[in-house]
Amino acid sequence: MAKWIVGHGIDEYIAKLGNLEMKSEEMCKRAVFDGAAIVANAVKANIAGLPVGDPRQGKVTGPQKQGLLDGFGIASFKNDGGFLNVKLGFDGYNSTVNKYFPNGQPNAMIARSLECGSSTYGKHPFIGPAVRSTKSAAEAMIKTRIDEQIEAIMK
């Protein structure tokens, strides 16, 4: 039969576990944000690599490309029943003004049109490949960050 002898450090250990519990959500948020940043950097690199030209050939105009770069980012965290979710996406409008879009074209619409193709835009995926290529690196970053933070608290 196993035997466990409680020593002098049990109170200190319990205090560290309590501290770990209190900081766990913030630790996870930092780790998830670092993982999301890896994916976001890959998406931005793919946006920068989009060919400029005629939209019917899967290309973007200069203002559309700049709008995608300026409007892309990481949204704030949302706690869905213990799951910390963060979204990467597009916000705002580019500077291409016409009668249908007097404030400029929505960046999310341009991104979706390029990713999936439309009657106006040829298909030129740039989000999916970035997500697929960085998934394992992002997961590894999250694990590393959480392990580092646990180790710092439990010292």
What are the CA-CA distances from residue 99 to residues 33, 64, 90, 113, 114 (Å)? 39, 16, 22, 19, 21
* pLDDT average, residue stretch 77-99: 90
| Residue 89: per-residue pLDDT | 94
Burial class (CB in 10 A: 0-12, 13-18, 19+), 132: exposed
| Residue 4: per-residue pLDDT | 64
pLDDT tier at 11 (50, 70, 90 boundaries)?
confident
Could you tell me the residue ranges of all domains in the chain?
Answer: 10-154
As beta bridge partners, residue 60 has 52
Poorest-pLDDT segment among 35-39, 119-123, 140-144, 147-151: 119-123
| Residue 146: per-residue pLDDT | 94
Q: Are 54 and 46 in contact (CB under 8 A)?
A: no
Round the average pLDDT of the chain to a whole number and report it: 90
pTM: 0.84
- Between CA 75 and CA 88 the distance in angstroms is 6
| Residue 138: per-residue pLDDT | 97
| Residue 41: per-residue pLDDT | 97
| Residue 148: per-residue pLDDT | 94
| pLDDT at residue 95 greater than cutoff 90 | yes
